[in-house]
Amino acid sequence: MSILEKTYILSNGVKIPKLGLGTWFINNGDASEAVRQAAKIGYRLVDTAQAYGNEAGVGEGIRTCGVPRDQMFVTSKIAAKAKSYDSAAKAVDDILGATGLDYLDLIIIHSPQPWKDWRKDKKRYFPENVEAWRALEGAYKAGKLRAIGVSNFLQDDLQNVLDNCSVRPMVNQVLCHISNTPARLIDFCRKEGVQIEAYAPVAHGRVLKNRKIAGVAQKYGATVAQLCIRYDIQLGLVALPKSGNPAHMAENAAVDFEISEADMQTLKNFEPITGYGMMRIMPVFRGKPVFRGE
Please determine, for residue 91, whether its predicted confidence score (pLDDT) is greater than 50.
yes
What's the pLDDT score for residue 293? Answer: 40
pLDDT tens digits for range 11-53 = 999 999 999 999 999 999 999 999 999 999 999 999 999 999 9
Asked if 133 contacts 161 with a C-beta cutoff of 8 angstroms, the reply is yes
28 burial via Cβ count (<10 Å: 0-12, 13-18, 19+): middle
Q: Are strands 148-151 and 106-109 parallel, antiparallel or unpaired?
A: parallel
Number of structural domains (the chain) is 1
CA distance 66 to 100: 16
Query: Does the residue 56 lie in any domain?
Result: no
Q: Which domain range does residue 243 map to?
A: 75-285
Q: Which of 43, 52, 199, 276 is catalytic?
A: 52
Query: Does the residue 116 lie in any domain?
Result: yes
Count of alpha carbons within 13 Å of 130, Cβ hemisphere only? 12
What's the pLDDT score for residue 290? Answer: 47
Query: Does the residue 234 lie in any domain?
Result: yes
CA distance 118 to 288: 9
Model confidence at 281, in pLDDT bands (50, 70, 90)?
A: low
Asked if 9 contacts 15 with a C-beta cutoff of 8 angstroms, the reply is yes
Angle, CA of 229, 230 and 236, to the nearest 5°: 100
What's the pLDDT score for residue 278? Answer: 60
Q: Of 204, 198, 244, 196, whose CA–CA distance to 54 is shortest?
A: 244
Q: Which amino acid is at 188?
A: F
pLDDT tens digits for range 118-162 = 988 889 999 999 999 999 999 999 999 999 999 999 999 999 999
Residue 110 is labelled as binding a ligand: yes
Query: Does the residue 132 lie in any domain?
Result: yes
Please determine, for residue 294, whether its predicted confidence score (pLDDT) is greater than 70.
no
What's the pLDDT score for residue 272? Answer: 83
What percentage of the chain has pLDDT greater than the value 90?
Answer: 87
Asked if 60 contacts 23 with a C-beta cutoff of 8 angstroms, the reply is no
Asked if 132 contacts 121 with a C-beta cutoff of 8 angstroms, the reply is no
What's the pLDDT score for residue 291? Answer: 46
Average pLDDT on 198-224 reads 94
Average pLDDT on 71-97 reads 98
Please determine, for residue 283, whether its predicted confidence score (pLDDT) is greater than 70.
yes
What percentage of the chain has pLDDT greater than the value 70?
Answer: 94
CATH assignment of the domain containing 196? 3.20.20.100
Query: Does the residue 251 lie in any domain?
Result: yes
Query: Does the residue 25 lie in any domain?
Result: no
What's the pLDDT score for residue 74? Answer: 98
SS in 3 state form for the chain? CCHHHCEEECCCCCEEECECEECCCCCHHHHHHHHHHHHHHCCCEEECCHHHCCHHHHHHHHHHCCCCHHHCEEEEEECCCCCCHHHHHHHHHHHHHHHCCCCECEEEECCCCCHHHCCCCCCCCHHHHHHHHHHHHHHHHCCCECCEEEECCCHHHHHHHHCCCCCCCCEEEEECECCECCHHHHHHHHHCCCEEEEECCCHHHCCCCCHHHHHHHHHCCCCHHHHHHHHHHHCCCEEECECCCHHHHHHHHCCCCCCCHHHHHHHHCCCCCCCCHHHHHCHHHCCCCCCCCC
Q: What phi and psi, each to the nearest 5 degrees, are found at residue 147?
A: -160, 160
Q: Residues, the chain, total?
A: 294
Average pLDDT on 162-184 reads 96
Please determine, for residue 114, whether its predicted confidence score (pLDDT) is greater than 90.
yes
What's the pLDDT score for residue 284? Answer: 75
Answer yes or no: 52 catalytic: yes
Query: Does the residue 66 lie in any domain?
Result: no
